[in-house]
Chain A
Amino acid sequence: MKVPVSLRIAALAVATTGFYTYVGQLVPQKEVHPPAEVAISKDMKPDEMAKVGREIMEGKGLCFTCHTIGKKGPLRFPDLEGVDVRAKSRVPGFSDVDYFAQSIYQPSAFIVPGFNPGMPVINKPPIGLTDDEILAVIAYLQTLGGKTTVTMQTKLPYQAGGNGQAAAGTVAPPPAGPTGGPAATTAAAPAPQNAGKKPETPQNPNPSPPQ
């Protein structure tokens, strides 16, 4: 019985690959899945929203690339410790929610004295948080020095399709909020009222966090 050479070679090739495949099956088999997107549902309670918001800030939002919580000394970007207290009085006529919303949708509209503008528009790529995610982030920011008042039903004046209708009644539309949604306005165009109050250049060359 003589087996043709080509058949033997084929058998050898198949046996060799088969053996290595077998070795591949012997080692632990584990599938690694990408980290799950934070699930957001419309019926979250305020504390749940804050928790989710914190996760978004750590992950997708990339907030802690620049911002810190509880850091002292020279800073490049504002520290967020107790930020809710300051947010309530930062811009006259703005509630803390208004202020947070403006900071996120139009970061350059108001610059904290002593800092340079540098924050990207958060609801656009590459970060691209959705309106719901931003609500969760605001919910968390409010817990830093205050209590969460936003709900998942809160309509922010900047939201796509939202015409400044404060459905939940917690947010009054800002005096001259943009009406066309974030797609129509650019972050570089601040609301007229704020223009006068916006510092042209940082006064302090060695910036420190405002307290």
Chain B
Amino acid sequence: MMPIVWWVALLLLAVQFALWKLRAGTFLWTLASWFSIYLFLHFGFTVPVPQSVISLYLGITTLATVAYVTSDRERLRNFTAPLVRLCIEPGRRPVLYGVAVLLPALAAFGTWRSMNVPLEAPAFGRTIHPAPPDSITVHDKPFNLITLENPYRKLEKSDPAAFARHLANGKRVFYQNCVYCHGDAMRGDGMYAHGLNPIPTNFAEGGTLALLQESFLFWRVSKGGPGLPEEGGPWDTAMPAWESFLTEDEMWDVILFLYDYTDQRPRAREVKE
């Protein structure tokens, strides 16, 4: 069974093909292409695309369509011809009336739809990974985040047995503290996750842990939501400042465990010239 998105894509391609076979005019073809893209953005993804991105893409599509239609006199004539015929040919009066009714109706429908969305907190862009401060103080010990490394990372090569002990300790820490929100498989779907906004970070996907250095994680774990800079706001993330509950070693161990469990590597430090 193919996922539904493939059906949508196939259907849209079929429409394009039919238009091509039927030698459809510029007007019909352009309009059909625009709607194809609209439909694809709305239904063509298993995971729905956020409205803000759809608007952005549709804006670009519209600009491109306008540019295409008007960039040649011939094409512009072809595009406007059906519209002109619609307006002046008496035989098409019923269609014209139909359009005259349909357009306001569409506007009304749009209004009705936009008023009927369920009540929801407004969309808000927050910087997910804001720039960390240069240094932080955890348990009265200053840490320079620019040069900070996980002290136990090097054990991975030099002393695998000790590394495994640290991993085991990290596992214990995770399942005693973090699992309730971040979930069994670290997908950000723990049992409390549904009550939180923003939802807990999903570590299983490749776009989070692998892009960050361990020092960044140490900052986020130790300082939590309260330690976020202003740009990371609004401050409604429920991540506690774990420095109040965990020792420094426990935090490093759980960071090791996060990478190990999700089979990812921390981002390497850029070498400065």
Contacts and interface: CB of A to CB of B under 8 A. Distances in A.
Contacts of A28: 124-126
A58 B231 contact: no
A70 B230 CA distance: 31
B140 A69 contact: yes
A70 B140 CA distance: 10
Interface in B137-160: 137, 140-142
Contact of A64 (B142, B230, B233): B142
Given A28-B125, A28-B126, A58-B137, A69 B142 contact: yes
Nearest to B52: A26
A33 interface: yes
B230 A32 contact: yes
Interface in B75-118: none
A79 B26 CA distance: 79
Contact of A30 (B135, B137, B140, B233): B233
Contacts of A70: 141
A27 B231 CA distance: 13
B124 A58 contact: no
Interface string B113-135: 00000000000111000000001
Chain B at the A interface: mostly helix, strand, loop or mixed?
mixed
Interface residues of B, number: 12
B141 A30 contact: no
B130 to A, nearest CB: 10
A32 B231 CA distance: 7
A194 B165 CA distance: 55
Nearest to A144: B140
Given A30-B231, A32-B231, A58 B126 contact: no
Contacts of B52: 26
Contacts of A69: 140-142
A58 B142 contact: yes
B125 A33 contact: no
A33 B230 contact: yes
A131 B12 CA distance: 75
B261 to A, nearest CB: 32
B230 A30 contact: yes
A69 B117 CA distance: 57
A147 to B, nearest CB: 16
Nearest to A143: B140
B80 to A, nearest CB: 19
A38 to B, nearest CB: 14
A115 to B, nearest CB: 20
A27 B125 contact: yes
A58 B144 CA distance: 12
A69 B138 CA distance: 13
Contacts of B125: 27-28
Q: Output the residue of A26, A30, A33, A54 with the most chain B CB within 10 A.
A: A30
Nearest to A70: B141
Nearest to B126: A28
A68 to B, nearest CB: 8
B47 to A, nearest CB: 22
Contacts of B124: 28
A177 B104 CA distance: 88
Nearest to B140: A69
A177 to B, nearest CB: 33
Interface in A20-68: 26-28, 30, 32-33, 54, 58, 64
Contacts of B141: 69-70
A33 B233 CA distance: 13
Contacts of B233: 30
Contacts of A30: 230-231, 233
Nearest to A55: B137
Contacts of B140: 69
Contacts of B137: 54, 58
What 4 A-B pairs are tightest by C-beta distance, nearest first?
A: A28-B125, A32-B230, A30-B231, A64-B142
21 contacts: A26-B52, A27-B125, A28-B124, A28-B125, A28-B126, A30-B230, A30-B231, A30-B233, A32-B230, A32-B231, A33-B230, A54-B137, A58-B135, A58-B137, A58-B142, A64-B135, A64-B142, A69-B140, A69-B141, A69-B142, A70-B141
Given A32-B231, A54-B137, A69-B142, 12 more contacts: A26-B52, A28-B124, A28-B125, A28-B126, A30-B230, A30-B231, A30-B233, A33-B230, A64-B135, A64-B142, A69-B140, A70-B141
